[in-house]
Every structure is written in structure tokens, then in C-alpha cells.
Structure 1
Amino acid sequence: MAEALSLRQRWRPYRAVLASRARSQASYRSNFLLDLGGSLLVGIIELGEVWVLFHNVVELGGLRFTEILLVFGLADLCYSLADMTFGHCDRLPTYIRAGTLDVFYLRPQPLLLQLVTSDISLRRLARALIGLAALVAGLVLNDISWGPAAVGMLVLALVSGFFTFSAMFVWAAGLQFFLIDGAEMTNAFVYGGRYAASQPASVWTRPVKAVFGFFFPMAFTGFLPAVVLLDLPGTEWMPPWLGWCTPVAALWSWGMALLCWRWGVHHYRGGGG
């Protein structure tokens, strides 16, 4: 009981900050609704791109439109939720250049935890709805043999996918301690990785499979779980059994993210003010 109480007390400052951020966003209703509408529109456009592509072909990489909906839904929903909770980590270069990151060091809480809980982007909920709608459509329209294994695979894919994308934001933030103004470079594997995750990995070339299939394990967030759920044969370098390794991909991503973060924090010497 004492340990549970102590844990609640430790999290109280973070809950207070997140609650205040959420209230501040919702208090300006017009702006909040516009943000929600803009985020929803982005999600619709990205899903529309997939529809336009498959409107001109019967299948791509061995997947039909209904099957790619499952890939897109898994990847996009996990990414949208991760972007809502961890996406503001990409503000770190601004804090470093302005010298305001030093303020975080004055508080008796871990630096990364402060950064993660410093904001929450509620507008991303609208985009998550698009991913959820695509996922539900993919689950309904495809012939999936439901059972404990399929349900377990779906839950595993959603949880692991969320943590994999979350790690990408932390990984990119850790590199900013060295790059300072290299957000565009890290965006290539964070936002570019999200785009790759929503596409069939069966059409990737070998170098792309090496980069976005394993080093940045984007294939484990959408394509490989979908292969298991749809009972597909997989592709070169990506047999179906790899779909059950999504937790390993999440652990690898967080291991690299925390390693880069630790290196970055030790490298940082202050704003110089």
C-alpha cells in the first residue's frame, strides 16, 4: 500500500502538467476544433493516397486493397497514438538552441520523463480515428480465422507498434543533442518510417528492407502482423513467424532510443547562457 501511494505521489506532478495541457487545448474551442479538423483531413488524405494507388491495380506486393487496409490501420493507429504522447519530443532542438532545456535540469525529475510529459497533442486523436476506422474495416472485410492466436496477435501488434513508434521519437530526440539543427534528417526515419510502415513491405528493395524492416523495424508495426492475421506466405527476409517478434522489435527500438538519449544527455554541456 505504501509503495502504491508513493508511486501515485511521484506521478502527481506529471498528471498535473498533462491535465493542464489538455485543459488549455480544449479551452480554446474554435482553435481546438480547427486542429482536430486539420489532423482528420491529413489522415483522410493519406488513406486516400492508398485508395488511389489500389484503384489502378488489383493488388500490390501480393496484397489487395482490403488487405492493405489492415496494414495501414495497424501502422497508422499505433503511430497516431505515439505521436499524440511522444511527438512533442521533436521540440528538443528548439529547447537546445534557445537554452531553455537547462530549466528541465533544475527540477528533481528525470529529464526524459519531463520532456515526454511536458505536453500532449489531443488533436492527434482525430487522426487516430482514421487509423482505427481503417483497422476495423480491414478486420471486417478480410477472412480472418479468429481464435486466441489471432486475438493475441492483434493485441501484441497494437501494443508493440505503439512502443516502437514512441521509441522512434525518443531516438530522434537523443540524436538532436549532437545534430542541434538536424530535425529534417531524423524526420526521414520517423515520419518516413511511418509512411513505409503503411505500405506492403513485399515491394521493398533489399536495402529498404534492411533499413526500415530491421534497423528501424517499421515492418513489425503493420505488415508482419497483417501477414500473420491474414495467413499470408510472407516475403523474402520476412517469413510469417517474424510477426510474433513484434515485442522484440519494440525492445530493440527502445534500447537504441535510450542509448542515444543517454549519449546525448552526457554530451550536452548547457545552453551557455
Structure 2
Amino acid sequence: MVRTYFLLIWVSTRAAAAYPVSFALMTVLGFLLAGTDVAVILVIFANTTTLAGFSREEVLFLYGAANLAFTICDTFVSNLDRTSQHIKAGTLDTFLIRPVSAWLQLAAERFMPTRIGRILQAALVLGYAVTALGVGWERAWMIPVMVITGIVIYTALWTIAGAVQFVLTDAPEVVNSLTYGSNQLTQYPFSVYARDLVAGVTYALPLAFVNWQPGLYVLDRDDPFGTPEFMRFLGPAAALVLALLAALAWRQGVRHYRSTGS
């Protein structure tokens, strides 16, 4: 399946690379547009020294870790949010009759390699923050774990968003709030939010394990909400549970799909 997926996105990559100037400009533009979120953080810290008890570099670290995972998923699987368009157009049938997973085909459809600029921007912010904070190797091992955990969680969210569209075919804003809304939520320390909201994105929708809980371990910080320390290490388990639920939701959506007959 992995080989098939990369073959599909390679076709789109070759097509985009056929116009090198356009490819380069779009990549740079994506890099610059992604920098607007960082600009907002810098503006905030131009007027204060801490945000909910976190320094500028610590906030940039949390932002970089979450955004690196998110932009990777946005590049490689975000086309799942176009499921409803195919259902309404009657073109989903084409994906289902092919000897390749419909999930893979939808994820790889209209792949945009120029989004690599956004991934690079997030990686640079994360790298700068880790260097500026002087994170030691005894805690830095958690960084790749939290990024991979974030990728699994965001991929699961996009899969759930795609599955929801089998029922809510005319509510794209609902699925966008689940994916892009989640990214906006994780860009800042969770200590800026209300306790009830943080509890919800910890125990119900595990967004806290994208960067907040493991990030507290990397930064050697106590949780302002008083969660026990073992929570810092539950990210992979939370991601696995969400991924299994997402796979079940997608399977149920496909099984209950009714063709338009077109």
C-alpha cells in the first residue's frame, strides 16, 4: 500500500516539476505564508515576556512541533476532506472499483508537492527553538516521538473527517473545524485555555498529546492543570487508539455508502 501511495503522488510531483519556475515560486510562497503564524507569535512577545507562563522560545517550540506534524499531514492526506465532493458528483464509485484502497487514492489525489515549503518552515522553527532552549539529549529523544505521534493523530482526524462526510455531505465547515481547527488550537500553550476545554482535548479528543503533554516533558515543566507525569508518555497509545477508531469510522462509512448510480 505504501509503495502504491508514493507512486500516485510521484505522478503529481513530476507534473508539477515540469514547470520549475512555478514550482519554486509556489513553494516559496507557501513558506512565506506559513510564516504569518510565527509573525503573530513574535508580535505577541514584542509586548510581553511570557504567554501563560511560557517564554517566546518555548511557545515557538510548541508551535513548531505541532505545525511540523500538521503540515506533513496537510501535504500528504488532507485531500480526504474532498470525499463529499466525490460523493455528490458520483465519482467516488470510480475509486471503489479500482484494486487499490479508496483511502489511498483520495489521499493522493491532487497532491501538491509545493506544500513542502510549509513543512520546511515548521521544521526550521522547531530546530531554532530546540537550539535556543538548549534541550539536552536526555529529553530530546521525545521530540521525534511527539512529531510522529502528531502525524498519526492528525492523519486519524482527517480520516474521521472523511468518514463523517459519508453522512454530512453538505457540511465541509464541520470537517474543517476538526482538522484545521485542531491545528489552530495546538499552536499555543494549553495553559491559555479554560480547564474544561483542556480536559476535553486530553481525555476525549487527544490533541494534548500532539505537543502539549510530551512538550512539557521536553521543557521539563509541570502541567499547570496538575495532570500526573505519566501522561507525558501516553501519546503513542492515544494516537493508536484514535487511529483504530478512525479506521473503523472509515470502514463503516464505505460500507454504508450508497452509489448515486451515475
Instruction: Determine the C-alpha separation between the residues in 2 that align with 1:100 and 1:230.
Output: 48
Q: 1:160 aligns with which of 146, 149, 167?
A: 149
Instruction: Determine the C-alpha separation between the residues in 2 that align with 1:156 and 1:53.
Output: 29
The alpha-carbon deviation at position 59 of structure 1 amounts to: 0.9
Instruction: Determine the C-alpha separation between the residues in 2 that align with 1:19 and 1:191.
Output: 25
1:123-272 to 2 correspondence within 5 Å?
A: 123-147=114-138, 150-236=139-225, 238-272=227-261
The alpha-carbon deviation at position 173 of structure 1 amounts to: 0.5
Secondary structure at 2:106 match in 1: helix
Instruction: Determine the C-alpha separation between the residues in 1 that align with 2:14 and 2:206.
Output: 35
Q: 1:89 aligns with which of 80, 85, 95?
A: 80
Structure 1 range deviating more: 173-182 or 106-115: 106-115
Instruction: Determine the C-alpha separation between the residues in 2 that align with 1:237 and 1:183.
Output: 36
Which residue is equivalent to 1:100? 91
Instruction: Determine the C-alpha separation between the residues in 2 that align with 1:145 and 1:151.
Output: 6
The alpha-carbon deviation at position 119 of structure 1 amounts to: 4.4
Give the 3 Å change call, closer, same or farther, for CA 155–270 of structure 1 in structure 2: same
Give the 3 Å change call, closer, same or farther, for CA 111–26 of structure 1 in structure 2: same
- The aligned amino acid for 1:51 is L
Which residue is equivalent to 2:20? 29
- Indicate if the aligned counterparts of 1:101 and 1:271 stay in contact, CA closer than 8 A: no
TM-score norm. by structure 2 comes to: 0.93
Which residue is equivalent to 1:57? 48
Which residue is equivalent to 1:6? none
- Indicate if the aligned counterparts of 1:76 and 1:131 stay in contact, CA closer than 8 A: yes
> Structure 1: which 5+ residue stretches go unaligned?
1-9
What is the number of residues matched between the two proteins? 262
Q: CA RMSD in A?
A: 1.8
Give the 3 Å change call, closer, same or farther, for CA 47–214 of structure 1 in structure 2: farther
- Indicate if the aligned counterparts of 2:34 and 2:121 stay in contact, CA closer than 8 A: yes
- Indicate if the aligned counterparts of 1:178 and 1:267 stay in contact, CA closer than 8 A: no
Instruction: Determine the C-alpha separation between the residues in 1 that align with 2:55 and 2:71.
Output: 24
- The aligned amino acid for 2:133 is N
> Structure 2: which 5+ residue stretches go unaligned?
none
Instruction: Determine the C-alpha separation between the residues in 1 that align with 2:226 and 2:179.
Output: 22
- Indicate if the aligned counterparts of 1:32 and 1:123 stay in contact, CA closer than 8 A: yes
